[in-house]
Structures are given as structure tokens and as C-alpha cells.
Structure 1
Amino acid sequence: MIYITKSYLPDLQDYVKYLEGIWERVHLTNDGPLLQKLEEDLKKELGVKHLLFCTNGTIVLQMALKALNITKEVITTPFSYVATTNALLWEGCTPVFADINPDDFNIDPGKIESLITENTQAILATHVYGNPCQIEQIQAIADRHNLKVIYDAAHTFGASYNGRSILSYGDISTCSFHATKVFHTVEGGCIVTNDDAIAKKLRHFRSFGHRNDDYFEMGINAKNSELHAAMGLCVLPKVPELIAARKLRFGYYADKLDFTRITRPTLLPGTDYNYAYYPIVLDSEETLLRVTEALKAQDVVPRRYFYPSLNTLPFALKDGVQQPCPIAEDIASRVLCLPLYPDLPESDIDRIATLVNEAIAIVSEVNG
């Protein structure tokens, strides 16, 4: 079976060396030395002031909303993983969906301003597939209307925009370190800010609202363990090598797919990409389903990533009414991510591309 992705595992002995230290110290969690080292290494790698290693990429979105006192309307994207919307709903906020740009699939800044009301408190945008949003335009809108900016940057590790890590933008940015990501800690995530006061609040939030034996404020359990930090310390030095391998395979696909019948999202100029995903957009949902069927018949498992458009979810309706986002709804019905990971053989990519091209040709022939 060839799945949409395959987790990278470092040399086992490298991981065991960290485990031996954990066994000697018997310090498994609660801000252990490996967690502190990982946080410092990540801050240096990303060039950010404050970074907290946490349990996963969803809880850090919830922490961001809490830290910025966001409780009302938040303008957000309908084209993201469901965790983006779930975090808003879980924290009692109202998601207001702005449609996406048809070129890069990120939230369209031109659709944001008309949705702002007296209840709007923030913009929560996703850098889709690791491709940065139009950051300057979003920030300008936020500045004009005194709004906070939170970025769901779950896909962006190792990618930069205008020479800066994409995680360095916004009031707060969050990232997922799930096992499927370019950089991972098996399970995990981080929250990033350059604001000292926000960072202090987030540190309390992560550990039940207290530091050592002193209680400061409301909090939650978002701590991560030494075992997860050890995995991160093993994987982090390999990230440039892993991105290079992904880029190579990205190029294989580009050489072999028939782009007379396929489109892809465009990268924002100034982006140094991390090659996290390989999405293609077919001409119709019918074609997508035929391609998916052809791939699965040959033990290749792609993913409809993202589907459905989040504004169509029954539990995300505003006042019981669906907010129309025709571009996101259309793209979500036609986008398919193909398998991509650092050691995916070129022969498999060639086979996948052939299956995709043949399935598209069959649909085109049938439909005249």
C-alpha cells in the first residue's frame, strides 16, 4: 500500500540515546530538560522570540484564542482542516467564513473587510499546504479595524516568506508536529508569539494556569513529554534533508502528470517552500472520483484534502444558515492530494502519475 504520507523515523539508536537519559533522570514531563532544549533549538531554527512546545496542533489554536480574549466573531477560511473551525466553536466563538483566492486557496483578503462587524475580534487564517497567505494585506486590514491575527500554520514548518519563517507572522502562529508533518514529534504542536506578555500567559495556560506550585490564572493541560521532545530532537537536524527529498519528488510529479487537464495552487512570490503536500485540482468531482477509484484499485491511497468546505458543515452554520463560499466549495469538490514523502520511489510516482493521467483521459473520452 502507498498511503498519502509516511512518517519519517530517525535512526533508532539516536532515539535510544535520548531515552537512556530519560531513564536516568526519571523526568518524563512537566517542562523537562529535553523539552526545554527542543524549544530553544526551534526558536533558533525559526528565528522567533517565544515558542512553546505543546500537546498538539489543535489545542494551541484554542490557547491562542484564550490568550487574546477572543470570544465573539472570527473571520476565517472555509478551506482548511476541520481543526481550524473546531477550535473556534470549542472556544465559543462564531466562525465567519471568507471565501478563498482561486489561485493559492488561501483566504482572500478582498473578501474579509465586508464581513467585519462590531462583533468581529480577529482573523484566523490558514497557510494552506504551507503556502503563505497574503500576509501584508491581512495585517493592513487588521490594523485598520483593530483586530488580532492568528495563523494556523500547521503546514508551514521549514517554509519561509520574504526570508522569515512563516511562523513568525501574526499576533500568534500555531503549528502541528503530528507524525504526518515535515517536522514531527509523533504528536505535538507549538505556539509562537513575539509578545512577552502573551508568551507569559501562554506558558501559564499550558500547565493548568500555574508555574511550579504557584497558581496564576485559568489554564489547561497542554504539556508535552520528554519522549516526544526526544523524537523532535532527532528529527529536527534532518529537516533540510527531508525537504530536499520532498522537493525532488515534487519535481518527479511535475514532469509526469498531464497538466493540460490538471491545475495546481500557485505559490506566493517570496516563498521558500517546504514541499509538504502535492495537491492537484481536477476538472470535475466526477473526474476526481474516477481518479481516486483507479488509484485505490492499485493500492494507492490519495486524500481529499480539504473536503468538505468547512462552511458547509452542519455544526458550523451561523444562525442556522450556511455562509456561501462558492470558490472554496468548488475547489474542495475537485482537489486531491497525491502521496508524497521523502523516500517515495520515483518508480511509484511514475506509476501514480500514469494512473492519474489514464483515469482523466477515460473520463474525457466518455464525456466527449
Structure 2
Amino acid sequence: MINVTKAYLGNKNKFKAYVDRIYNTGWLTNHGPLVTALEQRLKDYLGVRNIILTNNGTIALQIAYRALGVTGSAITTPFSFVATTSSLQWEGIRPIFADIDPETWNLDPNQIERHIEPDTSAIVATHVFGNPCDVERIEQLARQHNLKVIYDGAHAFATCYQGRSVYNWGDISTLSFHATKLFHTIEGGAIVTNDDDLAERVRLLCNFGIVDTDQIEGIGINAKLNEFSAAMGMCVLDDIELILECRAEIGQRYARRLGEHFDLQKPQPESQGNFSYFPVALADEQQLLRSRAQLNEIGINPRRYFYPSLDTLDYLQPQAPQPRSRALSRKVLCLPIYPGLPRKVQEQVMQTLIQESIHSTQSNRILFRPLVEAFGLLSGDQSPASECKRIS
């Protein structure tokens, strides 16, 4: 089955050489030399001041809330992976959903202010599919209401806004280096901040609050990345430009063909994306389910992201319904995109989606014609195309 993504494994001989080093030193975890080296390389590559590696992206979010002292409630997006919200609830912070921008699919700054409550202490926004949020508007709102800003940047590796990594905005950005991501460490994640004091607090929280062998400063947890994961990260980072180039080639091909038939996510102005995913908004959920079934029949497995809309989850109720997110979540399908995806498969994906869209449109016209005729809107030998034009 061709899945929506495929983990990039890099050069096997390079990985084995790193593993040999691990065997030689016997240093497996606890801030080993490969973890230290990878942090430095990522800091340089991303152009950020501090990056702290973690063992997954979800715990990176939890530590971010702790480090910033987030309590009470936080304004967040309903259109994201569940961890964005479940991590808040897990930490005893009440998620309050604000709806999304209908074009960028990110948290809509115009919706944030109306949902702020007396106990709200933070905004938790996601750069959805790597598309940067409106970081300047969010920063303005945060200053006005004395709120912390955390960005879930799980999809945004190598994404730039105004020529810089999008991780340079907000108090903290969190990353996921899960095997499905374009840059990965098998399992892993990271926290980015340009505040040195905050970075030191994060490091303590990631290591049980241990300052040194004789001193523990406050509560912490184990969030450290191991050396084997760092070895994989070193190998993948060696090829990151090739990975980005291959993804861009596929994504641009999809966009040229499918943009004529479907709604696509609108890029944030002044941004450079990474094609970490390629989402398509189909006409409705029925078309999505039909298209997915047809692709499954030929061995291609696209994924629904993000479904369901998080404001519908039982354990988060009561919540005010967020209609844009709910509508979008029912019709977005993410298509296969990764280095090495055969051109033939790309063509099959596009052809299947386009044919289903055309078939659905024709079927709707046939079903709609008796209704039009019943109201006496047709005369003579008008074509279906002119019928639709006249009705609109």
C-alpha cells in the first residue's frame, strides 16, 4: 500500500558508522555527544538561538506549558492533531477553541479575542501543514492581553516567514521528529526559544530538574533524546535539501493539476512552505469517502487530516461549536508525498480525484435538473452549463 508518507532513512552506512561510535563510547543517553552535535547542527540550520531535543513532540508541548507557567485556560485551534489539545487537558489547562481562517486553515486571529476568559493565560496555535500562522497579529493580541504564545510547529520544519525560520516567533515553538515527519529521529521532538533563561528552565524540566549530581531544582520529567535517535537525525539532516526539493517537485505538480478542481490551502503571505503534507479540500465528505475508497482499491492510502474537528471530542465538552473547522475537517484529504514516490502513482492520485470530481458534478446536474424544471426555470434547449449559470 502506498501511504501518505514514508520515513526517509538516509544512508545506511552513515547510520552504521554512528552506531559504531555509540558502541565504542557506550554512551546511550543523558545528553550524549550525538545529541549535543545534532542540537548544534539544527540550531545553525534553523537559525534559532536555543533548541532542546526531546523524546517526542507531545512531551515538548507539555514541557512548554510548564516552562511558561501556563494555567487556567488557553485559546487553541480545533483543526490540528489531537496532541495539541490533549497535552493541554493532560496538564490541567482548559482548551478553549477559536475557529480557523477559511483560507489558511490556521487559527484565525479575528476569532481569538472574543474567546479570551479571565483565567486565559496562553494562545496555543498550530502552523497547520507547515503554513505559518499570522504570527504578527497573534503577537499583538498576546501583548494586549498578557498571554504567552506557544506554536505547535510539528509540521513546520524548514518553513520560513519573512526569510527566517517560523520558529523565531512566539515564546516557544515545539517540533515533532516522529518518523512520519520530513525531518525525523525515529521518535523525537524539540523545543525552540530565543530566551536563554527560558531555555535553561526547559533543560531542567527535561531532566527531572537535575542541575548536577548533587542538586535538584524543582520538579521535572524525563524527556531526553537518546543517541540512536540522534544518529538517525544526523543522517536525515545530511540529506534535508534533497528531501525538501523532492517534496516541492511533487507538491507543485499536485498544485498545478488539482488547483483547477479543488480548494487548496492558501499560503500565508511572505512565507516559504515545506510541502510536509499536501492537503486537498474536496467538495464534501461524500466525495472524500468515494475518492479514498477508489484510491484504496488501487493500493493508494491517503489520510484524513484532521478529523474529527477537536471541538467535537467528548472529553473536552462543553465547547462552543467551531463551524469552519468542523466543515473543513469533513472534506480534507492528505495525498501521498515523499521522496521516491513514483510519478505513476502521482498521476493515479490526480486522475482518480479529478475523475471523481467531474463525475460528482455531472451527477449533481442530473439530479438538479428536475428541480429546476419544476420551477419553470428552463426554456428551449438550454444546456446544463447554461442552467447552472442562470441559476447562479
Q: TM-score, normalised to structure 2's length? A: 0.91
Query: Greater CA deviation, 270-279 or 357-366?
Result: 357-366
Residue 74 of structure 1 and its aligned partner are, at CA, apart by 0.1
Regions of 4+ moved over 6 Å: none
Residue 260 of structure 1 and its aligned partner are, at CA, apart by 4.3
Conserved in 2, the CA contact under 8 Å of 1:46 and 1:168? no
SS of the equivalent of 1:58 reads: helix
Q: Give, in whole Å, the separation in 1 of the partners of 2:4 and 2:314.
A: 27
SS of the equivalent of 1:139 reads: helix
Deviations 1:192-226 (A, max 9, x none): 11112211111011111113312111001101100
Conserved in 2, the CA contact under 8 Å of 1:256 and 1:350? no
Per the alignment, residue 22 of structure 1 pairs with: 22
Q: Give, in whole Å, the separation in 2 of the partners of 1:211 and 1:322.
A: 41
2:282 is equivalent to residue 285 of structure 1: no
Conserved in 2, the CA contact under 8 Å of 1:290 and 1:363? no
Per the alignment, residue 351 of structure 2 pairs with: 354
Per the alignment, residue 33 of structure 2 pairs with: 33
2:356 is equivalent to residue 338 of structure 1: no
Q: Give, in whole Å, the separation in 2 of the partners of 1:106 and 1:352.
A: 26
SS of the equivalent of 1:322 reads: coil
SS of the equivalent of 2:95 reads: strand
SS of the equivalent of 2:304 reads: coil
Root-mean-square deviation (CA, aligned residues, Å) is 1.0
Residue 309 of structure 1 and its aligned partner are, at CA, apart by 0.6
Q: Please tell me the residue identity of whatever aligns with 2:82.
A: V
Q: Please tell me the residue identity of whatever aligns with 1:218.
A: I
Conserved in 2, the CA contact under 8 Å of 1:178 and 1:189? yes
Percentage of pairs with the same residue: 45
Per the alignment, residue 306 of structure 1 pairs with: 306
Q: Give, in whole Å, the separation in 2 of the partners of 1:47 and 1:226.
A: 23
Deviations 1:148-187 (A, max 9, x none): 0000000000111001111121000000011111111010
Conserved in 1, the CA contact under 8 Å of 2:56 and 2:176? yes
Q: Please tell me the residue identity of whatever aligns with 2:239.
A: K
Q: Give, in whole Å, the separation in 2 of the partners of 1:362 and 1:341.
A: 29
2:324 is equivalent to residue 327 of structure 1: yes
Q: Give, in whole Å, the separation in 1 of the partners of 2:350 and 2:241.
A: 26
Per the alignment, residue 163 of structure 1 pairs with: 163
Deviations 1:300-340 (A, max 9, x none): 100110111100111112xxx23111000000011110111
Q: Give, in whole Å, the separation in 1 of the partners of 2:331 and 2:149.
A: 29
SS of the equivalent of 2:321 reads: coil
Conserved in 1, the CA contact under 8 Å of 2:291 and 2:352? yes
Q: Please tell me the residue identity of whatever aligns with 2:250.
A: R
Deviations 1:271-301 (A, max 9, x none): 1111111100011111111111111111110
Per the alignment, residue 115 of structure 1 pairs with: 115
Per the alignment, residue 208 of structure 2 pairs with: 208
Q: Please tell me the residue identity of whatever aligns with 1:326.
A: P
| Runs of at least 5 residues in structure 1 that lack an aligned partner in the other structure | none
Q: Please tell me the residue identity of whatever aligns with 2:220.
A: G
| Runs of at least 5 residues in structure 2 that lack an aligned partner in the other structure | 366-392
2:252 is equivalent to residue 251 of structure 1: yes
Q: Give, in whole Å, the separation in 1 of the partners of 2:35 and 2:55.
A: 12
Residue 61 of structure 1 and its aligned partner are, at CA, apart by 0.2
Residue 252 of structure 1 and its aligned partner are, at CA, apart by 1.9
